[in-house]
Structure 1
Amino acid sequence: MTFDFDRIIDRRNTHSSKWDGMAAALGVTAHDALPLWVAEMDFSAPPAVQQALQAEIDRGTYGYYTGDHTWREAMSAWLARRHQWQPDPDWITPTPGIVAALGLALQAFSEENDHVVVFSPAYHAFGKIIAANNRRIHNQPMINEQGRYRMDFDGLAKSMPADAKVVFFCSPHNPGGRVWDAEEIRQLCEFCIERDLLLISDEIHADLVYSGCRHRVTADVVPEIARRLITLSGATKTFNLAGTHVGGAIISDPEIRKRFRAMAARSGLLSFSTLGMIATETAQRHGDAWLDALLPYLEANRDYLAAEIVKAVPGARPMHLEATYLAWIDFSAIGMPRKDFMAAIRDRARLGVSPGPQFGPGGEDWIRVNFATPRSNLELAITRLSETFC
């Protein structure tokens, strides 16, 4: 079966956060601007997912959902098939997305005003959910070593507050696209064990890894971390299903799992959309061929953007991505202050990109660009950038 990732889908005026939310968030409208910011794709979901949803819609009844054992079995089988790690389905708790799971973990395993460790720059929702739960973020800057980030454990050992109880770990990393190797994961787990920290491993981008790299599941690399580990996973990023708001928290330790589920029950977050559960289960049961076709397309887009951005914007330096469809590009050497280059991207190039500062310390002169879009959109973006900066 072939899949058409070049097809342009008009997403304007569809309540799309990526397209219709640009005006409020970035000051540009989808009428004449191109959104390259929110981490979702401009591609149709797999045909099997569309067919399953259509069958449910045609039935005409939209009642409550039950029987999530098949959903949990599908996630377990997917992880075994794609990552050679098969968690017991009973370890998996469905959640209303990854960010909601982060919030539940904070509420269950930390107190107000406690510090939460984040390796920065990092996924901007980390900081937002930490602040929303009245916890304090401890940003530990990563080291940019020849265009690749690495975690600074020596620095963290010196700087970490005594009241830190939780570490948020993005694997693969967003932004920056690092696929952490087994030794790096082992060092992080040993750090958490030695200092009695709960590790939350956000692995939502695990399926979006490029040739030459392999995602290593934290729980599989260091089995002894199980007593202090929550792994977050799901189908939404992989299959462009973010609007379903369905994710999974995988917890092998019975006590941690009990506390997490109790907090979810207390918060009324153990009930899920029927359509969302059907979509994500179907994707993980029948989406392999679609993903296998998507990855080379994304990799080609990655390579095109990396090669062309340095011509279109003299001085721009893209970080080499090993995973994700989110390019991380350093604008510090283009000879223009951040305020000015962001205004130029917005007002002259008419592009919506994610500003680096929202990802925390280390992102000040960077931008994040989503290239999960038809190639013609990327070509248009490069043309506009070249006309703006050359």
Structure 2
Amino acid sequence: MKKDFFNNKINRINTNSVKWDRMENLFGKKDLLPFWVADMDFAAPEEVVKEIAKRVDHGVFGYTTPTESTNESVRSWVQKRHEWNIEADWITYSPGIVFAISMAIQAYTQKGDSILIQPPVYTPFFEMVKVNERKLIESPLYLKGDRYSIDFSSFEKQLASGVKMFILCSPHNPIGRVWKRGELEKIAELCKKYDVLILSDEIHSDLVYKPSVHIPISSLNEDAENRTITCIAPSKTFNVPGLQASAIIIPNNELREKYQQQQHKQGFFTLNTFGTIGLEAAYTHGEIWLNELLAYLQENIDFTRSFIKKNLPSLKVINPEGTYLLWIDCRALNMSDEDLHNLLLTKGGIAVESGVKYGAAEGKGFIRLNIGCPREQLKEGLKKLKAALS
């Protein structure tokens, strides 16, 4: 792959891009530079594009289904990248992880049951619990310096209140934490103690920076394996979310059957043709591309932190151990979230995610910035950020 691959700026306007073409609907302005939704501005790996193009050239798009080679691509990937040995029959598929979260909530809990999350956290965690008429229970993470941690006293207290399911974000969006083994072991131990299922969203598991290491919580021990539903996808890793293909790994036969029955009730049977092809091609051929991406993203992170420290010293970037999303503390500005949001839009011409989306209290005074883009685009965005807040 050419060294300047990730510097190549691709025009995504008028491609039905949510990130680029929906800004006027969502932000009230269309002449903005987008750094909001978790969607990178890089082309997918060449092998993924070639495999999809080859299927397009075939010209027949009848019913298709994942095959043994699709399962093998998933199995080999998680073994090589995360040292987790799984069986092919543990894998089922989903058009997306948010869909999978909803299916798991419906399959394993009843209306009124309590489900625990850890804000500030990915917005659909809140939404899927509420829309499925379950009771939302929160155990907020706490920030000390520039690092978030789990309040295990609060966590256990909430589990003991009758929680049926815990939704884990690993690595964590938006704060960028990659949980250490000891933290995961404590989570698993407490979930065993109170007999709580673990639904682990590990969509960002491949986007981890050294020396941090992603550990699938299901891989810890036999009990964790038997109470965990793990959700992974090539979508964030290889920038193919539009292909709508995710792999759900459920080692426990009974839990897997319940999940698949719930999918069947919703009329879901298989992935679309291009989702299957893209998933398999990414996991089979994408490792070199990913390694180079991680190096580029780390440079983007370093550049952003250096720029903000020099030009906007009142802001504080929470150092990410994973993901391409920066969680930025703007509380020293002493501005309301609404005023900050409007200033970035009107004076800066930049679209970012407001922190309150990830927790009304926990996200107050924060923004989330997506640095998954060419360096020149990032530089332009940071200049806009400076112009808005200077």
SS in 2 for 1:113: coil
Q: Could you say which residue in structure 2 is the equivalent of 1:367?
A: 367
Q: Could you say which residue in structure 2 is the equivalent of 1:9?
A: 10
Shift of 1:329: 0.3
One-letter code aligned to 2:164 = K
Identity %: 35
Shift of 1:176: 0.7
Q: Could you say which residue in structure 2 is the equivalent of 1:110?
A: 109
Q: Could you say which residue in structure 2 is the equivalent of 1:77?
A: 76
1:325-364 CA-partner distances (Å, limit 9, x unpaired): 0000011002322222111111111111011011013101
Q: Could you say which residue in structure 2 is the equivalent of 1:388?
A: 388
Query: What is the 5 A alignment of 1:248-263?
Result: 248-263=247-262
Once residues 160 and 86 of structure 1 are traced to their aligned partners in structure 2, the CA distance between those partners, rounded to angstroms, is 29
Contact 2:19–2:37 (CA under 8 A) maintained in structure 1: yes
Query: What is the 5 A alignment of 1:60-139?
Result: 60-139=59-138
Q: Where does structure 2 lack aligned partners over 5 or more consecutive residues? A: none
Shift of 1:323: 0.3
1:187-215 CA-partner distances (Å, limit 9, x unpaired): 00011111111001111101000121111
Once residues 79 and 2 of structure 2 are traced to their aligned partners in structure 1, the CA distance between those partners, rounded to angstroms, is 25
RMSD: 1.3
Shift of 1:389: 1.8
1:64-101 CA-partner distances (Å, limit 9, x unpaired): 11243221110010111111112101100011111111
Q: Could you say which residue in structure 1 is the equivalent of 2:333?
A: 334
Contact 1:27–1:346 (CA under 8 A) maintained in structure 2: no
Shift of 1:156: 2.5
Once residues 71 and 77 of structure 1 are traced to their aligned partners in structure 2, the CA distance between those partners, rounded to angstroms, is 10
Query: What is the 5 A alignment of 1:160-239?
Result: 160=159, 162-239=161-238
Cα pair distance change 1:194/1:11, threshold 3 Å: same
Q: TM-score, normalised by structure 1?
A: 0.97
Once residues 67 and 311 of structure 1 are traced to their aligned partners in structure 2, the CA distance between those partners, rounded to angstroms, is 50
SS in 1 for 2:332: coil
Q: TM-score, normalised by structure 2?
A: 0.97
Contact 2:326–2:369 (CA under 8 A) maintained in structure 1: yes
SS in 2 for 1:39: coil
Cα pair distance change 1:24/1:163, threshold 3 Å: farther
Once residues 266 and 19 of structure 2 are traced to their aligned partners in structure 1, the CA distance between those partners, rounded to angstroms, is 28
Q: Where does structure 1 lack aligned partners over 5 or more consecutive residues? A: none
Q: Could you say which residue in structure 2 is the equivalent of 1:58?
A: 57
Once residues 187 and 293 of structure 1 are traced to their aligned partners in structure 2, the CA distance between those partners, rounded to angstroms, is 34
Contact 2:115–2:167 (CA under 8 A) maintained in structure 1: yes
Shift of 1:276: 0.8
2:259 is equivalent to residue 273 of structure 1: no
One-letter code aligned to 1:321 = P
Shift of 1:163: 4.0
Contact 1:356–1:364 (CA under 8 A) maintained in structure 2: yes
Contact 2:159–2:196 (CA under 8 A) maintained in structure 1: no
Cα pair distance change 1:161/1:351, threshold 3 Å: farther
Q: Could you say which residue in structure 2 is the equivalent of 1:313?
A: 312
Provide the aligned length of Structure 1 versus Structure 2. 388
1:112-164 CA-partner distances (Å, limit 9, x unpaired): 12221001100111111112211122121111122111111201233457342
Shift of 1:28: 2.6
Contact 1:75–1:234 (CA under 8 A) maintained in structure 2: no
One-letter code aligned to 2:370 = N
1:3-43 CA-partner distances (Å, limit 9, x unpaired): 510111111111111111222222231xx311001101100
SS in 1 for 2:34: strand
* Runs of 4+ off more than 6 Å: none
Contact 1:138–1:160 (CA under 8 A) maintained in structure 2: no
Cα pair distance change 1:222/1:21, threshold 3 Å: farther
Q: Could you say which residue in structure 2 is the equivalent of 1:42?
A: 41
Once residues 159 and 56 of structure 1 are traced to their aligned partners in structure 2, the CA distance between those partners, rounded to angstroms, is 50
Contact 1:6–1:376 (CA under 8 A) maintained in structure 2: yes
SS in 2 for 1:141: coil
